[in-house]
Amino acid sequence: MTDTKTGSVDAAGLLRIQEAAAEAGLTSRSVRYYEEVGLLRPAARSEGDYRLYDATDVERLRFIKGLRDDAGFSLAEIAQLLEDEDARERGHEAYHATTDPAERLRILRDRVSRYEHQIEMLRSKVGRLQAMVDETDARLTRTKGKVRALTEEMAASIEVGTAR
């Protein structure tokens, strides 16, 4: 494979900041900023302290970008939605770090309630947006009605004029 110096780190599938950012359609600056405000932490650091991101990190970055661009949430709101997941523990790691089923269950149930909360937030936004679409659609229909009425009226008057 054409694996230049800008390739993935080792064969571990870890990406450096620019690669990870590009993968999610972001700039490295944004990614560092997101870390600064507590939205994510890189999966690892290289020997020389380079940030290294794995696939789930990129997933998360994509999700953040979606929440930002598509849902229009502020980074603070996004932090709320992604509640801890870093602060409390690195979910996945913590999950595999324990073999205690009760602990695993707690982690999973926690994740479930987070997802449910996220869905609720998103659904409410979809709802309000859909309401705006409907409103606009109603205006559109009314205006189209006016256009139709006017064109008919004009057609009639032309007929009169033509039939003179």
- Least CB distance to a second copy at residue 73 (A): 7
Residues of this chain, 107-126, that bind a second copy according to CB under 8 A? 108-109, 111-112, 115-116, 118-119, 122-123, 125-126
Structure-token match 């507590």, residue found: 38
Quickly list H helices, 4-100: 17-24, 28-36, 55-69, 75-81, 91-97
Among 12, 13, 32, 137, indicate the residue that binds DNA (CB under 7 A): 32
Binds 6: which of a second copy, DNA, none (CB < 5-8 Å by kind): DNA
Task: Yes or no: say if 106 and 118 are a contact pair by the CB < 8 Å rule.
Answer: no
CA dist., res. 91 & res. 160, Å (int): 78
Whose tokens are 């599938």? That residue is: 13
Report CA-CA distances (Å) from 30 to 17, 75, 144. Answer: 10, 11, 45
Of 100, 36, 25, 117, give the one whose Cα is nearest residue 64: 25
Site string (82-121) toward DNA, x via CB under 7 A:
----------------------------------------
Contact flags string 45-64 toward DNA, x per CB under 7 A: -xxxxxx-------------
Q: Is 141 a residue that touches DNA (CB under 7 A)?
A: no
DSSP conformational letter for 90: -
Quick one: what does residue 57 bind among a second copy, DNA, none, with the CB cut-off 5 to 8 Å set by partner type?
none
Determine which residue in the list 29, 56, 88, 153 makes contact with a second copy, applying CB under 8 A.
153
Residue ranges that bind DNA, judged by CB under 7 A: 3-7, 9-10, 16-19, 27-30, 32-34, 37, 46-51, 68, 74-76
